[in-house]
Amino acid sequence: MGSAKKRRERFLLERFLEHQGISPTCIQELESPDFLIDIEERSVGIEVTELFIRSGKSEAHPRPEGPLLQAVEKTTDLIVSKAREIYFDGGNPPVLSTIVFSNQIAFDKKKGDQIARFIANQIQSMNLQNSQVVDWRSREEEVEERLLSESVVFIHTRRVHELRFARWTVARAGLVAALAPIHLRRVIDEKASKISAYKKHAEEIWLLIVADRARPSQNFLVPPDFPRDSISSPFTKTFYYDYVHRGVIDLTNIVKTSAVIC
């Protein structure tokens, strides 16, 4: 597992724990499960997994581009993370930035690094003062950086006073998919096959299923009539967490614990 993925999993876990008012005395990073936390004098293993929209005839809104969306999201996130690193390594002041990519984004690392440096250089050249806001748009006449600027459509930047406000994000849009039991069952069934390995670290295991609705490939909406009682899970606790809207469905009280054949 790459370090970027582990950092993201930990970030999502910490936001979930904060939302639930849970303050562990220790968070240990593992592989199976992803984390081991100490709460109320007991150890709890937590497996964190993100929920993605998949294409398929059984879904109300099939997304044949689903795997491509995930690849684009991963690539653009890495590029923006690298651009931010380059910018701040240069000793530049804190800025908040939102980047819009075109559909001509490159998937190879070398080109991605070049685009990251291009973004960092563009933001640095803005030389923002105080709370100044500057927008940059790609233009046809910018021949010198044409190949790179074709991948980046728009950069919105604002000078902020503290580093903690200096978030760099990718602007995205997409349709909404209604959350259905089948989406959760797929994840639960996949993770249930590994529960014996998880229990080598702790008897109590939680499954945290996260949907980051800022990403088109994870833009699920929970319908008012979602049939919670149709979900069963072998985990001690099972949660669905809407990261963007901070919504949590605690399936623990209604899950029917079942035996797992490994």
Q: What is the enclosing helix (H) or strand (E) of 248?
A: strand 247-250
Query: pLDDT digits over 125-179, tens only?
Result: 999 998 999 999 876 545 455 556 678 888 999 999 998 899 999 887 666 788 9
Tally of CB atoms within 10 A around 177: 22
Domain encompassing residue 188 = 3-61+175-250
CA dist., res. 6 & res. 57, Å (int): 32
Reported confidence tier of residue 106, pLDDT bands at 50, 70, 90: low
99 and 155: one domain?
Answer: yes
- 8 near 34, Cβ under 8 Å? no
152 and 195: one domain?
Answer: no
Q: Domain boundary at 170, 185, 219, which?
A: 170
Instruction: Share the mean pLDDT of the chain.
Output: 84
Say what the alpha-carbon torsion angle 121, 124, 127, 131 is, to the nearest 10 degrees: 130
- Asked if residue 223 has pLDDT above 80, the reply is yes
Q: Domain boundary at 118, 140, 170, which?
A: 170
Say whether 257 sits in a helix, a strand or coil.
Answer: coil
134 and 81: one domain?
Answer: yes
Least confident of 24-33, 169-178, 227-236: 169-178
96 and 152: one domain?
Answer: yes
- Look up the pTM and report it: 0.63
261 part of a folded domain = no
Instruction: Give the pLDDT score at 1.
Output: 45
Reported confidence tier of residue 61, pLDDT bands at 50, 70, 90: very low
Reported confidence tier of residue 80, pLDDT bands at 50, 70, 90: very high
207 and 240: one domain?
Answer: yes
Instruction: Give the count of domains, the chain.
Output: 2
